Amino acid sequence: MPVPRPPKPDPRQLLPRDAYVGQDWFDREQTELFARAWLFAGLVTDVPAPGDYLSVMAGREPLVIVRQADGRLAAFLNICRHRGVVLLEGRGNVAAGISCFYHRWHYNLDGSLRGVPQAGQFPGVVADKARFGLRAASVGEFNGMIFVNADPAPAETLGQWLGRVPDDWGPWRPAELFELPASAIEVAANWKLFIENHVDGLHLWHLHARSVQGLDHDRQYWVARGRHWMFYEPESVAGSIPERRTIRLPAIPGVDALRYGSSVYMLFPNIGIAAGVTFLAIFVVTPLAPDRSRVSFRTFVKPIVVQDFIDDPGLAESLGASAGQLSLGSAAAGDAPFADRLEAAARAGDFVAEDKLAAEAVQRALGSRRFAVGPLASDYEAAITFFQRNLQDFIGDWSG
């Protein structure tokens, strides 16, 4: 039987259906994009002391960032030079050096090989230890945030990669803020659908009609900063957000009235940032499979000090009432019918849950051979094309 021909997509939808469902595309992104891009790994405050480490995946490249004795950061391929196990998991401290659990090869913090047990078994190694250090990767910092690149000599430095992003960043300094408990959700959708939704300014009126209020979507604008996207929209009524907000956290120092709206960024390829008067949230969308992703959130607020309770006598009460409002995305969980989950997300004001439901609904539609993206909004969805063009720079026009 002939396969039905899909309708012609909007020419500004640059990626084919296969980009969202194909294993070949997924594999290519892992090696051509994620193993070459600067990726968010954590904050400098995650690894304050010598020997503190942070392990992270760059596509399929396991990397580890290690705080050196002199305070600098170094990044390595997190693979033992003996039989190749992944050395370190998660976060921790290896002040005494990195010792492989398998046969106890031992590395200094700078990645050089310190020694191997039963040295007589490895005459070539002992004679030429300098050749068996951990393979280098690249690490950089911006505003207290650590970025890592699997390539020891990336085509662009972190400074080149970020370009003018630092000029437009605003007053948020995550490493100086207080971190709320981290959370993560799994999304049954390709990672690009979550990012494309993140840079879509059109759905704010519709999908988030009830969950996102008090912002003037008509006055939204975005700018391209290199491959990155920076968005801002003001409050609908100037000065209303601090009064209206349900979680009455203290304002972050330096966030002036102009920033009382919503500042939202996307650092290519998979980092989302949302910032307001009281918070900064960073999320990373990690591809797990063509149709499955993990979204990990870290949220930062001003450290609350005694003065804040003096300034706002209702603060203690509102903090108590806010418990449970911070695990974004959870309102969409469970086996309830789709419409009920959508309603629960709107009622909870859980716009992340709404985004998850939308991305998953597109992914289900992508199963159809007749799937095609229709006309995109001229302005409010233009950033989707922008994102896809940047992706093509890494993946090419390759169509599987």
The residues that touch ligand FES, with contacts defined as CB under 6 A, are 80, 82-83, 85, 100, 102-105
Shortest Cβ 223–Fe ion spacing (Å): 19
Instruction: State in angstroms the smallest separation of the CB of 127 from ligand FES.
Output: 18
Q: Shortest gap between Cβ of 116 and ligand FES (angstroms)? A: 7
Decide whether 133 or 214 has the Cβ nearer to ligand FES. Answer: 133
Binding residues for Fe ion, rule CB under 5 A, total 1
**Contact call for residue 355 and Fe ion (CB under 5 A):** yes
Provide, rounded to whole angstroms, the least separation between the CB of residue 203 and ligand FES. 48
Please say which residue, 82 or 91, places its beta carbon nearer to ligand FES: 82
| Per CB under 5 A, 381 contacts Fe ion | no
State which residue, 200 or 235, has the beta carbon closest to Fe ion: 200
The site partner of 72 among Fe ion, ligand FES, none (C-beta below 5 to 8 Å per kind) is none
Residue number with CB closer to ligand FES (105 or 172): 105
Smallest gap from Cβ 358 to Fe ion, in A, equals: 7
The CB-of-335 to Fe ion minimum distance in angstroms stands at: 23
Residue 82 interacting entry, from Fe ion, ligand FES, none, C-beta within 5 to 8 Å by type: ligand FES
* CA angle, residues 265, 60, 98, in degrees to nearest 5: 100
Nearer to ligand FES, 83 or 389 (CB): 83
Q: Which does 364 bind (CB under 5 to 8 A by kind): Fe ion, ligand FES, none?
A: none
Window of 9-17, 135-143, 218-226, 349-357 that interacts with Fe ion by CB under 5 A? 349-357
Residue closer to ligand FES (CB basis): 13 or 78: 78
Residues in contact with Fe ion by CB under 5 A are 355
